[in-house]
Structure 1
């Protein structure tokens, strides 16, 4: 009996076990998925919790209800992996042997990595929304905030869902306008990037949207610390940005066990071949989704498209055949812009977001790099698709690899993009 162990029962891990259980003979393969608890969280929903669009119950389901029959779910923290011995050590003392291992433990916010961020102002005037608890706490703070300086801040790239800080900023602007207090609030967007986003064309479009909404941008800001006494963030070049309410995206890092196992880089992401997702160190270890170091957005769509490529590659690899699938870094992201509208961006390793129509050329119904009602509705509809189609491993009528069909190219749109996400 061959053994597959998947570490992480989030988006990528759940999709993988649902797809592979159907493809791997039960009499030949045992499949085990490991996660720390039984709560599967719909992370795109965190964005909407602070504004009351979603309730907590709409973003949480029990993990065991999403795992198929014939897959063992182990609820435990991972202590370390002994890759040379094909063994996973759990913190409760149990061990799991494997023939093949998939690391899909994602990435998490680490406010402890920035001096002062977890100081006396944490969850008082300093909040995050990249965690379930943080998004819920921020909802209360936003309801009581009626004047002052609201600062939205990114510590460093890469972060999961790199458009989410912009989405929060646009939604905060609309939220304050609906309450009739926007003129009493100074809204500031602080980023380590030189512009609003990593991709030049999208950055220009999103930057102009910030300007139109009179949102100040503080670029190239590399935070050194949070000054709790002065209620300010301080950069390494000694710039100071004061705040009354700080919404920060802390440093994102992979799981600590990756470091303890000697499997990761300085941010605990597993180095893999960016096309096959196979570990660069071990021929029986893969990393999929946010847990890998691929130069693509750490977003749910990337996990979805990568899993589709991974499954075919895995079946070839365990059969001793060359892997023929090649992941292209495809990302497809809705960008909420407030007032019931949104944008859509579609890009990959080699091509930056372009204007046009998606998924059907000329017809859409989604517009690329353009604010529309349809894009907003598409983002809201995705929650149902996530629970009922994506996680169970059912096919979506979307191309796994990015297509140029429907996209508009000009000399100004063909400049190469940066891989820094």
Structure 2
């Protein structure tokens, strides 16, 4: 009996176990998935939780219900990966041998990387919304907050869902308007980038929205420390931004497991072939989702596209066939812009977000890089798709793993 082990039962790991369980010969392969946590979170919902758009019950479920019964599901902390021995060590001394390993351990916030960020102000007037605990605490704060200087800040890239901080400021604008207190709130968006987003065309569209909504934008801000006593953030050039309420996206780092196992880069992301999803240092270890160092967005849609391609490459590997270099960095993201509207962007390694229609050329019904009510409804519908299709490894109709250029007006990015 051969062993395929998946580390992590978040979005990527759960999709992979569902993709593979019916494709590997049951008499030859045993599939094991390991995760220390019982709860599975719908992480895109953390954006909506602070604004009371979603409830806590809508963003979390028992993870076991999404793991097929045929798989061996272990709920323990993963202590160490020993690649030379093809072995994973779990808490309590248990050892798991593997013939193929899939690393799907995601990323975590690391507020301790910045001086003062997780000090006395943490969850009092400094919050994150990239964790369930942070989003819930921020929701409680916003319910009672009477206004002042709201600063939404990104520490450094890469981060999960790089568009989410911008969505937060747009939703904050709507939230305070609906509460009749927008005039009492000064909103500032602070980023280490030279523009609102990582791609120039999308940056242009998003900058316009920031201006339209009277949201101040501060770019090229590389934070050095949080001065929580005087309520300001300070960058290495001694630029200071004052806040009454700081909503920050701390440094995102891969799981400490990869550091302990000496398999990660400086941010604990595992070096991975960007086209095959095979790790660079070990041919029988593959990686997916936020755990990788791929030059694409760390987002659920990307993991979904990766999962379809990785499944095929696992089957090729088992048969001793060459791996297909097919993953093109495809990302497809709805961007909430507030007031019941959203943008939709579609891009990959070589093409910027483009204008056009999606998913059907010339028909849509969704418009790319344009605000619409339909795009907002698409964003809201994704929660159902996530729980009922994506996690279960069900192909989403009319949406291909690779980016289609049909119906789009695109220009090749400069290399």
The TM tier, using the shorter chain, reads: over 0.9
1:93: which partner in 2? 93
Q: The residue matched to 1:267 in structure 2 has which SS? A: coil
Q: Which runs of 5+ in 2 are unaligned?
A: none
CA distance in 2, matches of 1:146, 1:414: 47
The answer as to whether partners of 2:67 and 2:73 remain within 8 angstroms in 1 is yes
2:31: which partner in 1? 31
Normalization by structure 1: what TM-score? 0.97
Q: The residue matched to 1:23 in structure 2 has which SS? A: coil
The answer as to whether partners of 1:126 and 1:246 remain within 8 angstroms in 2 is yes
Q: C-alpha displacement at 1:415, in angstroms?
A: 4.1
Q: Does 1:402 align with 2:403?
A: yes
The answer as to whether partners of 1:310 and 1:325 remain within 8 angstroms in 2 is no
CA distance in 2, matches of 1:98, 1:399: 31
Q: C-alpha displacement at 1:326, in angstroms?
A: 1.2
Q: The residue matched to 2:385 in structure 1 has which SS? A: helix
Q: C-alpha displacement at 1:328, in angstroms?
A: 0.2
Q: C-alpha displacement at 1:324, in angstroms?
A: 2.1
Pairing 1:258-297 to 2, within 5 Å after superposition? 258-297=258-297
Q: C-alpha displacement at 1:416, in angstroms?
A: 3.0
- Deviations for 1:72-97, whole angstroms, at most 9, x for unmatched residues? 11111111101000111112221111
Pairing 1:10-409 to 2, within 5 Å after superposition? 10-397=10-397, 398-409=399-410
CA distance in 1, matches of 2:271, 2:251: 19
State the aligned residue count. Answer: 414
CA distance in 2, matches of 1:75, 1:336: 35
CA distance in 2, matches of 1:325, 1:250: 33
- Deviations for 1:299-337, whole angstroms, at most 9, x for unmatched residues? 001000011000001100111111125100000000001
CA distance in 1, matches of 2:131, 2:92: 25
CA distance in 1, matches of 2:84, 2:324: 26
CA distance in 1, matches of 2:396, 2:413: 30
CA distance in 2, matches of 1:416, 1:245: 39
Q: The residue matched to 2:13 in structure 1 has which SS? A: helix
Q: Does 1:416 align with 2:414?
A: yes
Q: The residue matched to 2:408 in structure 1 has which SS? A: coil
Q: The residue matched to 1:30 in structure 2 has which SS? A: strand
CA distance in 2, matches of 1:361, 1:270: 36
CA distance in 2, matches of 1:165, 1:262: 31
- Deviations for 1:227-262, whole angstroms, at most 9, x for unmatched residues? 111011110111111100000000000000101111
CA distance in 1, matches of 2:321, 2:282: 17
**CA pair 414-272 structure 1, distance change in 2 beyond 3 A:** closer
- Deviations for 1:180-200, whole angstroms, at most 9, x for unmatched residues? 111111100000000000000
The answer as to whether partners of 1:352 and 1:416 remain within 8 angstroms in 2 is no
Q: The residue matched to 2:214 in structure 1 has which SS? A: coil
Q: The residue matched to 2:79 in structure 1 has which SS? A: strand
- Deviations for 1:258-282, whole angstroms, at most 9, x for unmatched residues? 0111111000000011000111111
CA distance in 1, matches of 2:243, 2:296: 32
Q: C-alpha displacement at 1:146, in angstroms?
A: 2.2
